[in-house]
Amino acid sequence: MKQQTKTIFWALAAVMLLVLPLGLQLQGNAWVRIADMALLYVLLALGLNIVVGYAGLLDLGYVAFFAIGAYTFGLLNSPQLTDAFPAIAAMYPDGLHMPIWLVLPLAAGVAGVLGVLLGAPTLRLRGDYLAIVTLGFGEIIRVFLNNLDQPVNITNGPKGVSQIDSLSFFGLNLGKNVSFAGFEFASVSLYYYLFLTLVVFSIAISHRLELSRVGRAWMAIREDEIAAKAMGINTRNLKLLAFGMGATFGGVSGALFASFQGFISPESFSLMESVMIVAMVVLGGVGHLPGVILGAVLLSALPEVLRYVAGPLQELTGGRLDASILRQLLIALAMIIVMLLRPRGLWPSPEHGKSLQNMKS
């Protein structure tokens, strides 16, 4: 009976997720865009959860891989490189329009390689020191992209890359509305279904990793690295694997973000973005997939929902408080309250930290 109830629950949840964009479309495409961005942040949080949640490596520069994926897609699907390099323009007279089957693996691969390169010099670092190094790496990538318009204009510097192509496969262009079975699906709704498919696929990968020998080895390193090494676990290779796999998720998310927005700039990949992604993992429950998903959805959607709260509060103060600052204040207040009431996250893993509790008892 319990299994049947669980099956019915998941079936209803699947139906609700499938019809959600159609219902949100009635209120305007802005709400569908919020749902799209929430799914993108779920992808990012799932990737960071491999590094922070499974392996216990505090990474504050995760947004760098997000940026690498976005710029890889943007440069290969926009007029930026053909305008900067006449040789490329001669090779591609119709412009650079690389297929998704090439660009997505390339974005994932480039980000994964950079993840391993980041992990290599930090293998002996832990805790705060590792956080500082990864934070610096994230800022280096952002500054690098911001200044790579001289002497050769590759990234267009702070102006960003524009006119990025929408995703297109099997003759379906996600940048255009599509009518099917009497329903009109807006472009943002088509992206929603693509993001939802990739989120489900990523959840399956993360779940299998968690149950695998590699996942158990990561968790052993997270709980006690010295004991894990004494048991014969190759901590060096497993740490590099965690950095590489987490970065791969970030690269794919960045490519999807670039195609969805149609424009990218270094400002989209600031330190605050990294902090927010880490907060999603910690707020939801480190190492627990349902908690990570819940944290990502809440923290990505909460700022948009609080727009409707910050406006009336601004009017009550006679306009003395800026609505955007008030909105950030409300988000920070909500996070503080959650962390005080639920220090292990909104939906923590029943296994995470169990060894530490046994030691205390």
Per residue in 261-312, pLDDT (tens digit) is 999 999 999 988 898 999 999 989 888 999 999 999 998 888 777 777 777 7
What is the predicted pLDDT for the residue at 147?
93
Averaged pLDDT, 22-31:
84
Q: How far, in Å, CA of 98 to CA of 117, rounded? A: 26
What is the predicted pLDDT for the residue at 3?
77
The CB density around residue 183, as the number of other CB atoms within 10 Å, is 10
Query: Per-residue confidence at 52, pLDDT binned at 50, 70, 90?
Result: very high
The CB density around residue 261, as the number of other CB atoms within 10 Å, is 18
Q: How far, in Å, CA of 11 to CA of 245, rounded? A: 30
- Looking only at the bridges linking them, the beta strands covering 183-185 and 178-180 are antiparallel
136 vs 321: which has the higher pLDDT: 136
What is the predicted pLDDT for the residue at 41?
95
322 vs 286: which has the higher pLDDT: 286
Q: Using one digit for the tens of pLDDT, what is the confidence trace for 199-227? A: 999 999 999 999 999 999 999 999 889 99
- DSSP at 172: E
Longest CA–CA separation in the chain, Å? 71
What is the predicted pLDDT for the residue at 358?
44
Q: Using one digit for the tens of pLDDT, what is the confidence trace for 141-184? A: 999 999 998 888 899 999 999 999 999 887 788 888 888 777 77
Block residue for tokens 């499938």? 18
Q: For all residues of the chain together, what is the average pLDDT?
A: 88
Q: Are 246 and 60 in contact (CB under 8 A)?
A: no
Strand positions, DSSP E, the chain:
168-169, 172-173, 178-180, 183-185
What is the predicted pLDDT for the residue at 4?
81
Residue 170 tokens read as 């099997």
Q: How far, in Å, CA of 265 to CA of 267, rounded? A: 5
What is the predicted pLDDT for the residue at 355?
44
* 142 alpha carbon, distance to own chain's centre: 16
Q: Are 64 and 47 in contact (CB under 8 A)?
A: no
Q: How far, in Å, CA of 261 to CA of 253, rounded? A: 12
Question: Phi/psi at 169 (nearest 5 deg)?
Answer: -155, 150
| Closest to 75 in 3D by CA, of 197, 220, 254, 247 | 254
Residue 153 tokens read as 């204009």
C-alpha distances in Å from residue 16, one per residue of 19, 22, 42, 250, 302:
5, 10, 18, 27, 20
Q: Is the pTM of this model over 0.75?
A: yes
Q: How far, in Å, CA of 315 to CA of 114, rounded? A: 47
Block residue for tokens 């491999």? 50
Q: Using one digit for the tens of pLDDT, what is the confidence trace for 75-118? A: 999 999 998 888 989 998 888 889 889 999 999 999 999 999 98
Bridge partners, residue 264, by sequence: 161
48 vs 357: which has the higher pLDDT: 48
